[in-house]
Amino acid sequence: MPETVTSATGKFNAAELSFDDFKKIVINDYRIGFESRQASLIGRREVLTGKAKFGIFGDGKEVAQLAMAKAFRAGDWRAGYYRDQTFMFATGMSNLNEFFAQLYAYPDIEKDPASAGRQMNCHFATRYVNADGTWANQVETMNCAADISTTGGHMPRLLGLAYASKLYRQNTELEYLKQFSVNGNEVAFGTIGNGSTSEGLFFETFNAAGVLQVPMAISIWDDAYAISVPAKLQTTKEDISEILKGFQRENGTNGYEIFKVRGWDYVALCETYERAIDICRRDHVPVLIHVTEMTQPQGHSTSGSHERYKSKERLAWENEHDCLVQMRKWMIESAISTGEEMDELEATAKKYVRECQREAWNGLGDEIRVELKQVSELIEQLAEDSENGDKLKEIVSELSAVVDPGRRDAFAAGRKALRVTVKEKLIGKQALINWLNSETQKNSERFNSKLFTGTLQSPLNIPVIKAEYDEDARLIDGREILNACFDSNFERDKSIVAFGEDVGAIGDVNQGFAGLQSKYSDLRISDTGIREATIVGQGVGLAMRGLRPIAEIQYLDYLLYSITVLSDDLASLSYRTRGGQKAPVIVRTRGHRLEGIWHSGSPLGFILNSMRGIHICVPRDMTQAAGMYNTLLRSDEPALVIECLNGYRLKERLPSNVGEFTVPLGKAEILREGSDMTVVSYGSTLRIVLEAAEELEKMGIHIEVVDPQTLHPFDTDNVCGNSLKKTSKLLIVDEDVTGGGSAYILQKILETQGGYYLLDAQPKTLSAKEHRPPYGTDGDYFSKPSLDDVVEAVYNMMNEANPSKYPDLY
């Protein structure tokens, strides 16, 4: 695993230092800040000259981040946004070489440990998953959760990172997890721009942290703009800390400690951060540090210049109040350094930053030049024997003329050469094909790997244990099966926690956790406010810190409120860190048939398309759901489990190993064998299909019913395709809208499993109407697939195949 962190800097307290020591600290801080500024300036030029594709930097924010870094210790966490490069350099969690490697999209975890070239620049992360899939010791390192580009999207995860410290401090049963916490002393540092405080995720997170009283320190970098939009169009009173004053804690209340400090005042910043973080760490009180009067010398990003929207007066003020200009001035006035010494320091820093930039650029370029040489030689060899030799030589010539070539240029040249010689039988062609195949494997690892972490702890590697039943096994409500499953797992693993709306005191709206809060405490099973985004974010942060959270979203329809966290953050986490980070959170919810527009959702198409990187489990009953929970709670990848709303009071037999049996992910199951047609369904419609099968059998039609059980992954053993070898006909039944989940399943069976070649009739889908289901039983009947719909859909397909045997129904 690449080393990305060093030991923490000490606290800044001038009273405890000699003047010489004090000078050394200040001068070193300025050096880091100045190097960071040079990296921003050079980075922008590299983008504008075409060497890098996009640049967004932290210039103007350097001094505040130097002060924040002094309060950051080993074991602490950062969840910030893309302005924090100086902080990352000051803490040692990143460096200039890695900064430029990421700018050039260097696809190597040794060069860019944060993302292996997958993220835009200034998107930081540290690697806490070892090569074998085990956890690194987080208390010995400084830790950074992987950034995302949505500027407020990291806030919900920040809540979870801080909440973990609270659990580690207050729940003595967690003392054995020593690699994740030291008595909950860790602070979660969050950063956000003043413009992004307008987002709902900020306010939802801010309120939740005030309720929970967790060690979360939010720094707001306030430069009075959000790209071109000024604060007066963003924030009431143009001052975010002013409008948040109601959150200031008072005697006998929860809330925040709120601080306000100017972003160019080095001494005040150091003192403010020392005081604020001491309160946060010691007392577990969230703090807000509003850093005002910041600047952004290069504008928002390389996509535009701030001269277009800032007045001359504002630009002049920014030049004067540039934090590094002010710090330099203070250092000279305070006799910490002289102008000549500062000039020499700056000249040395400029040279060093340029050397780091060149090292990153040349390192990537050298690798690419080797590949260019290889493919050029193979094409030239092909040209010697080809009747299209001139065209092949032209390909090589065009390749050599490319300015700043990339891997795609080498690869595209090789593929074009094969097209040019497609009708020729040439000895040298196989060598070119072999090279392309070899490079395809390498590039697949570079650019397409680690959607899931894929460790030995993956749910796909959990041993299958069958459910066992005593001869006199009780027939009980499905909700009681879940309750027994959760009870067993909470007893087995002290790191499991569950939370959500109504989960604690009443045991969730369908009683899956009934009685468990009183048994395991409100630290492990707890209620939350109505705040879906931060429920999921709370789970993500906890999972990053070694706990096993079950984050409950009360109804599937309300998953929409957490989609940014699920899609932007959780689903992409493993991919965007190339396996360097993981968050095995389980999101539990319930959906499908019930009553009404907002309590009968099955938006599987939306879920499937936005949550690649999360396992999607669609159990048909509570026993299957329990087996999936047993699997997931022993593994290390995230999952969404959608229970059937109308199944909690249906009777099921209680397995004797209810907390131990496992249901494997990706394994479809044939629930009823048949020879006439394959019908694939899941969740609540599966029961309707099975009922329809009984009536169809009376009509002489025998359908084979397949339950995929999970949609991510889907039927890894090709059960559906193999069924088609027998039946040659396919119907997919689901209660998503037309073209939703059914379209996804159709593609998997026909294309991935090759089912198209096994059909002797047009495949069909039976799904819900385009609108959401209205309220009432009749609304459900006329909106979602019913038993009559399934019977007639199957019959009509048989009618098309053999009208004489199956005459028209209508």
Rounded to whole angstroms, the Cα distance separating 513 from 522 reads: 12
Q: Which two structure tokens, joined as six digits, stand for 108?
A: 């190597």
The answer to whether 489 touches 629, Cβ cutoff 8 Å, is: yes
Q: How many CB atoms lie within 10 A of CB 31?
A: 16
Which of these, 341, 643, 696, lies nearest to 478 by C-alpha position?
Answer: 643
The answer to whether 150 touches 139, Cβ cutoff 8 Å, is: no
The answer to whether 643 touches 625, Cβ cutoff 8 Å, is: yes
**Known active-site residue 599:** yes
Q: How big is the chain, counted in residues?
A: 810
Q: What does the H/E/C string look like for 720-786? A: HHHHHHHHCCEEEEEEEECCCHHHHHHHHHHHHCCHHHHCCCCCEEEEECCCCCCCCHHHHHCCCCC
Rounded to whole angstroms, the Cα distance separating 776 from 488 reads: 37
Q: DSSP secondary structure string, 349-388?
A: HHHHHHHHHHHHHHHHHHHHHHHHHHHHHHHHHHHHH-TT
The answer to whether 783 touches 751, Cβ cutoff 8 Å, is: no
Peptide bond into 713 cis (omega under 30): yes
Which of these, 438, 478, 469, 393, lies nearest to 651 by C-alpha position?
Answer: 478
For 250, half-sphere exposure in the C-beta direction (CA atoms, 13 angstrom radius) is: 3
Distances (CA, A) of 389 to 385, 413, 603, 750: 7, 14, 55, 41
User: Dihedral of CA 193/199/200/201: which sign?
Assistant: negative
User: Dihedral of CA 405/407/412/413: which sign?
Assistant: positive
**SS3 of 188, please?**
strand
Q: Which helix (H) or strand (E) holds 798?
A: helix 787-801
Distances (CA, A) of 599 to 207, 240, 603, 646: 27, 37, 12, 11
**SS3 of 578, please?**
coil
Q: Which helix (H) or strand (E) holds 549?
A: strand 548-552
Rounded to whole angstroms, the Cα distance separating 164 from 187 reads: 10
Which of these, 623, 629, 616, lies nearest to 734 by C-alpha position?
Answer: 616
Between the two ends of the chain, the Cα-to-Cα distance in Å is: 67
Rounded to whole angstroms, the Cα distance separating 76 from 215 reads: 10
Give 644's strand partners: 591
Longest dimension (CA), the chain: 102
**SS3 of 258, please?**
strand
Q: Which two structure tokens, joined as six digits, stand for 177?
A: 């997890």
The answer to whether 602 touches 736, Cβ cutoff 8 Å, is: yes
The answer to whether 55 touches 88, Cβ cutoff 8 Å, is: no
The answer to whether 537 touches 505, Cβ cutoff 8 Å, is: no
Q: What ranges make up the beta strands (E) of 34-91?
A: 77-79
**SS3 of 261, please?**
strand
Set 290, 599, 615, 712: catalytic member: 599
Rounded to whole angstroms, the Cα distance separating 569 from 563 reads: 9
Q: What does the H/E/C string look like for 219-236? A: EEECCCEECCEEHHHCCH
Q: Which residues are catalytic?
A: 599
